[in-house]
Amino acid sequence: MHAEAHGSNPNRTLLYAVAAVSALVLMLVWMEGGFVGKAEPGLLAAEQTAPVTGQTLTLAPRTIAETAAWPATVSARVVARISPKVAGRIVEITRKVGDPVQRGEVVARLEAKELGARLGQTRAQLAAAEAEAVRARAELIRSESLYAKEAATRQTLETAQAAARAANAQVKAAQDTIAEAGSLFGETELKSPVDGTVVSRELDRGDTAMPGVPVLTVQESGRLRIEGAVAERCAGALRAGASLMARGGAPEQVYPVEVDEVAPAADPATRTVWFKARLPDTAAWQPGAYASVELPCGQREVLLIPAAAMTRIGQIESVRVVEQGRSVLRHIRTGRPLDGQLEVLSGLEPGETIQIPSR
SS3 label, residue 200: strand
Q: What is the 8-class DSSP label of residue 267?
A: B
Per-residue pLDDT of the chain (359 residues; tens, 9 = 90+): 444 444 456 666 666 666 766 766 666 655 554 554 444 555 444 446 677 777 888 889 888 877 788 899 998 888 889 888 877 888 888 888 888 898 988 888 887 666 666 666 777 776 877 788 788 788 878 877 877 877 778 888 788 788 888 878 887 877 777 666 666 666 778 889 888 888 889 988 888 888 888 999 998 877 889 999 998 888 887 888 888 889 988 788 889 999 999 999 899 999 999 999 998 888 888 888 899 998 888 778 889 989 888 888 888 999 989 888 888 899 999 988 888 889 899 999 999 998 887 76
Q: Which residues contact 213 (CB under 8 A, 6 or more apart)?
A: 83, 202, 203
SS3 label, residue 49: strand
For the four alpha carbons of 121, 127, 131 and 137, in that order, the dihedral sign comes to positive
pTM over cut 0.85: no
Q: Which residues contact 267 (CB under 8 A, 6 or more apart)?
A: 229, 273, 274
CA 19 from centre of chain: 62
Cα dist from 50 to 58, 59, 326, 329, whole Å: 18, 20, 6, 9
